[in-house]
């Protein structure tokens, strides 16, 4: 058996062994789930393993490093549409890679969020987008229905463009119905349209009878600071040496988060800060100040959070040096 096939077979074995070894799924109050999730990090969005199932960058030891550093959760960024065939079926090879990720993370006592991250497709063919999302969650929900409650589903990262608040409210209800057929009480993460920004929370409509929902928001304000030098964002790509940390800027974070908290209290929903961070082109002392302040502010409100991200950009782990970016790690986990 070739190495690639051996890895695939081992992945399936690990996942089945993990599900058998861990407690059978049991419902968990979403507020208790958030308390258990605590501090987390986004992983694997841009790893070459998704192309050839070669974990060239992210390896098994990284799960242990994440857990030992003081994190309790990984948010796995799944860009799955390109791995679907003409009938929207995900490939067996892709699923075995995901089995390896889920099984290994659970074995290292990490909560796992499966984040549907094909948000760039929102501005293309809306009918095809809907169809693929339905197919994705039908397959994912069925495959992992017996996994422990530390596995959490996130319906869609950053709905935007053609997925307006009205479109998203209708679509999320449809996706929830699909997932609930096989996972009637698993906790599910859902955020507002408008790129998961808190300004759109008031337009988010969740089924009042479904209490196994965690609401997520993302926070990158002010963009002139957090995205300075980011080549993919034209409005901030040319910026540099933008600092952050005066009291007025810190109060802005508190005010913004208090708005979210007021909405969450009114709706009786727990909160996950699914993404935050400052791109590596900014001054390190300001990035540390910002990262620490955002994380501590979220914690004071009893939110869980997942930093963006482990490697690739907004880097927490330097793959070339094979080491933590210590100032950012200490800002996240004092």
Rounded to two decimals, the pTM is 0.94
pLDDT exceeds cutoff 70 at 55: no
pLDDT (0 to 100) of residue 48: 82
Per the CB < 8 A criterion, the answer to whether 218 and 227 are in contact is no
Long-range contacts of 265-270 (CB under 8 A, 24+ apart): 267/206, 267/215, 268/211, 269/30, 269/206, 269/213, 269/214, 269/215, 270/30, 270/31, 270/33, 270/34, 270/214, 270/215, 270/302, 270/303, 270/304
Question: How confident is residue 7, by pLDDT bands cut at 50, 70 and 90?
Answer: low
pLDDT tens string 322-334: 999 999 999 999 9
Rounded mean pLDDT of 77-100? 93
pLDDT (0 to 100) of residue 123: 84
| Structural tokens at position 152 | 């959490």
Question: How confident is residue 17, by pLDDT bands cut at 50, 70 and 90?
Answer: low
Number of domains in the chain: 1
Q: What is the CATH number of the domain that holds 161?
A: 3.20.20.80
Rounded mean pLDDT of 145-152? 96
pLDDT (0 to 100) of residue 246: 98
pLDDT tens string 253-268: 999 999 999 999 999 9
pLDDT exceeds cutoff 80 at 51: no
Helix, coil or strand: residue 307: strand
pLDDT exceeds cutoff 60 at 162: yes
Helix, coil or strand: residue 272: strand
* Least confidently predicted of 14-28, 81-95, 111-125, 203-217: 14-28
pLDDT (0 to 100) of residue 15: 58
Question: How confident is residue 1, by pLDDT bands cut at 50, 70 and 90?
Answer: very low
Task: Report the chain's mean pLDDT, rounded to a whole number.
Answer: 93
pLDDT tens string 268-323: 999 999 999 999 999 999 999 999 999 999 999 999 999 999 998 899 999 999 99
| Structural tokens at position 289 | 């100040």
Question: How confident is residue 19, by pLDDT bands cut at 50, 70 and 90?
Answer: low
pLDDT exceeds cutoff 80 at 6: no
Rounded mean pLDDT of 97-108? 94
DSSP for 184-230, please give it.
TT--EEE--TTTT-GGGGGG----TT---EEEEEEE--SHHHHTTT-
pLDDT exceeds cutoff 60 at 149: yes
Task: Classify 195 in phi/psi space as left (phi over 0), alpha (psi -120 to 50) or beta.
Answer: left
pLDDT tens string 163-201: 999 999 999 999 999 999 999 999 999 999 999 999 999
pLDDT (0 to 100) of residue 4: 47
Residue 223 domain boundaries:
3-332
Contacts of 199 (CB under 8 A, 6+ apart): none
């Amino acid at each position: 058996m070739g190495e690639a096939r051996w890895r695939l077979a081992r992945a399936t074995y690990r996942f089945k062994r993990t599900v058998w070894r861990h407690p059978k799924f049991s419902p968990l109050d979403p507020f208790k789930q958030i308390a258990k999730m605590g501090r987390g990090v986004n992983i694997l969005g841009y790893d070459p393993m998704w192309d050839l199932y070669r974990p060239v960058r992210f390896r098994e030891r990284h799960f242990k490093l994440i857990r030992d550093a003081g994190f309790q959760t990984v948010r796995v960024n799944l860009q799955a549409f390109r791995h679907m065939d003409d009938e929207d079926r995900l490939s067996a090879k892709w699923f075995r890679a995901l089995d390896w990720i889920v099984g290994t993370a659970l074995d290292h006592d990490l909560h796992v969020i499966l984040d549907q991250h094909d948000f760039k497709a929102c501005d293309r063919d809306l009918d095809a987008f809907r169809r693929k999302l339905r197919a994705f969650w039908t397959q994912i929900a069925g495959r992992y229905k017996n996994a422990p409650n530390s596995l959490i589903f996130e319906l869609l990262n950053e709905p935007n463009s053609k997925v307006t608040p009205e479109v998203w409210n209708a679509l999320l209800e449809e996706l929830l119905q699909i997932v609930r057929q096989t996972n009637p009480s698993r906790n599910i993460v859902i955020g507002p349209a408008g790129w998961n920004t808190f300004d759109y929370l008031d337009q988010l409509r969740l089924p009042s009878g479904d209490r196994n929902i965690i609401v997520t928001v993302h926070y990158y304000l002010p963009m002139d600071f957090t995205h300075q030098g980011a080549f993919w964002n034209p409005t901030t790509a040319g910026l540099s040496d933008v600092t952050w940390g005066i009291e007025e800027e810190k109060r802005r974070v508190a005010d913004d988060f208090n708005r979210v908290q007021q909405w969450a209290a009114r709706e009786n929903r727990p909160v996950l800060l699914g993404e935050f961070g400052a791109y590596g082109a900014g001054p390190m002392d300001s990035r540390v100040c910002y990262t620490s302040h955002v994380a501590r502010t979220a914690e004071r409100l009893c939110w869980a959070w997942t930093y963006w991200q482990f490697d690739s950009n907004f880097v927490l782990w330097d793959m070339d040096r094979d080491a933590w970016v210590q100032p950012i790690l200490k800002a996240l986990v004092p």
